[in-house]
Structure 1
Amino acid sequence: MTSKKDIKILTQLLDLSGIKVISHHQYKGVGIILQIESINNESICPRCGKKSHHLHQNHKSIIKDLPLGEQQVFLEINKRQFKCQKCQKPFTPILTFCRNKKKIY
Structure 2
Amino acid sequence: MLDLLNLPGIKPVDMRHESKCLVIVAEPVTVEVPLCGNCNTPMHKHGTRKNKFMDTPLYMEPVCLQVQRPRFRCESCRKMSMPELSFLDDKRQATKRLVDVIRQQCLGTTFHALAEQTGVAVNTVKNIAHDLIEELSQTVRYETPAIMGIDEVNLAGGYRCVITNLATNNVFDMLEHRTQEHLKPFFKDLPNADKVEWVCTDMWRPFKGS
Equivalenced residue count is 94
- Whole-angstrom CA distance in 2 between matches of 1:79 and 1:85: 19
The answer to whether structure 1 residue 22 and structure 2 residue 13 are counterparts is yes
Higher strand share: 1
- Whole-angstrom CA distance in 2 between matches of 1:73 and 1:50: 38
Higher helix share: 2
Asked if the contact 1:30/1:72 (under 8 Å) is kept, the reply is yes
Task: Point out where structure 1 has 5 or more consecutive residues left out of the alignment.
Answer: 1-6
Q: Which has the larger radius of gyration?
A: 2
- Whole-angstrom CA distance in 1 between matches of 2:7 and 2:75: 29
Q: Higher relative contact order at CA 8 Å, sep ≥6: structure 1 or structure 2?
A: 1
Paired residue for 1:79? 69
- Whole-angstrom CA distance in 2 between matches of 1:87 and 1:43: 16
The worse-fitting range, judged by mean Cα deviation, of 94-103 and 61-70 is 94-103
Offset of residue 24 of structure 1: 0.3
Paired residue for 1:94? 84
Paired residue for 1:56? 46
Asked if the contact 1:45/1:51 (under 8 Å) is kept, the reply is yes
Change (3 A) 1:103 1:41: closer
Q: Which amino acid aligns with 1:62?
A: K
Paired residue for 1:40? 30
Which of structure 1's runs of 4+ aligned residues deviate more than 6 A? Answer: none
- Whole-angstrom CA distance in 2 between matches of 1:51 and 1:20: 25
- Whole-angstrom CA distance in 2 between matches of 1:40 and 1:87: 25
TM-score (norm 2): 0.38
